[in-house]
């Protein structure tokens, strides 16, 4: 695949995974990229049309749930002739391992991209053990 760019499309979820829908709207699983360093895991999720006021992130036991709610975008005097970003909300669920420090999780959103920073717990990080002579 030299030089080729893989096309990525958001996928519609056929039915909500848990909970009861409050609006009759499509729900998409946002595309996400996950990166890791020695100290943290980063999750970048694409949620076009979502801002900090319309995101709900919950952590219950080991289940991290991301939900984003959008409002219909209309431009006065314009008629939509082609749409590659259909309207709908977003929902994605991740199962966290015990290596994540739950109290240190941070989230920010900018230009429709949600960024989660999941710090690893001190217990799970590799460390050097000093050997002493007797």
pLDDT digits (tens, 9 = 90+) for 111-129: 999 999 999 988 766 677 7
- Name the more confident of 69 and 6: 69
Q: Please indicate whether residue 91 or residue 26 has the higher confidence score (pLDDT).
A: 91
User: Is there a contact between 87 and 65 (Cβ–Cβ < 8 Å)?
Assistant: no
The pLDDT of residue 65 is above 90: yes
User: In the CATH hierarchy, which fold is given to the domain comprising 25-72+84-122?
Assistant: Immunoglobulin-like (2.60.40)
């Amino acid at each position: 695949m030299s030089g080729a760019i893989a096309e990525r499309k958001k996928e519609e979820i056929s039915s909500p995974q848990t909970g009861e829908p409050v609006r009759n709207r499509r729900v998409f699983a946002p595309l996400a990229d996950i990166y890791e360093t020695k100290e943290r895991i980063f999750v970048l999720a694409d949620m076009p049309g979502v801002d900090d006021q319309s995101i709900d992130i919950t952590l219950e036991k080991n289940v991290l749930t991301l939900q984003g709610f959008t409002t219909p975008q209309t431009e006065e005097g314009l008629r939509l002739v082609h749409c590659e970003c259909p309207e709908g909300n977003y929902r994605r669920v991740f199962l966290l391992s015990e290596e994540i420090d739950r109290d240190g999780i941070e989230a920010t959103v900018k230009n429709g991209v949600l960024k989660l920073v999941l710090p690893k717990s001190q217990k799970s990080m590799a460390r050097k053990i000093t050997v002493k002579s007797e």
